[in-house]
Amino acid sequence: MISMSDLKRISIAVIFALLGLANAQPALAQLRLTSPAMASGAAIADDYACTGADRSPALAWSDAPQSTKLFALIVDDPDAPSGTFVHWVAYNIPPGVTSLPAGVPQTTEIAGGGTNGINGFEHIGYNGPCPPPGKMHHYHFHLFALDSTLTLGDNADAAAVQSAMTGHVVATAELVGTFQR
């Protein structure tokens, strides 16, 4: 007796064979996010935290799908005592932009294109790690390649950006840094 999952696999194989795509492999977007300020899993320097200059680290990305119309960035700390805390929201970054410099100003407009949103501190732009003393925290830099412009007003927060992105994410990349006081 053929199981339902086997039947689905057979049906998909027959469809691909009929379309002449039997040897085709699906294209997987391999969006990459890096920073000269930190390696993935490494500590975030004080310069990018509340214990230092509290400026955003430089970020660079590559290998976005051709269908990318815009990028969005959300930086969060899932280890925060009261639940996931958002440190940076940026959205509607044009597809020709493949990096952000260190120290992006805390203004609504990002030089070169894009918009800074409201973070968990209720500030525009980036505010770095500032956990209570003790436990190590992990800061997730999430980059999203989108197939559509996000129709949001100024001062959108992470929840608004995430809601607007629903159904429009074509690739994601993540960089994780750590910080402890």
Place of tokens 């959300």: 74
**Interior CA angle at 89 toward 177 and 152, to 5°?**
160
Beta strands 70-77; 137-146: pairing state: antiparallel
Is the pTM for the entire model greater than 0.75? yes
37 Cβ neighbours under 8 A, 6+ residues apart:
44, 45, 47, 48, 57, 58, 102
pLDDT in single tens digits along all 181 residues of the chain? 554 444 344 434 333 333 333 333 344 459 999 999 999 999 999 999 999 999 999 999 999 999 999 999 999 999 999 999 999 999 999 999 999 999 999 999 999 999 999 999 999 999 999 999 999 999 999 999 999 999 998 789 999 999 999 999 999 999 999 999 9
Q: Which domains does the chain have, with CATH numbers?
A: 29-179 (3.90.280.10)
Hey, what amino acid is at 84? T
Q: Are 75 and 129 contacting, i.e. CB atoms less than 8 angstroms apart?
A: no
Bridge partners, 157 (sequence order): 118
Nearest Cα neighbor of 123 from 76, 165, 157 is 157
Q: How far apart are CA 50 and CA 57, in angstroms?
A: 13
Extended beta strands in the chain, E state: 32-34, 59-62, 70-77, 85-93, 99-100, 115-116, 137-146, 169-179
**Interior CA angle at 178 toward 146 and 124, to 5°?**
50
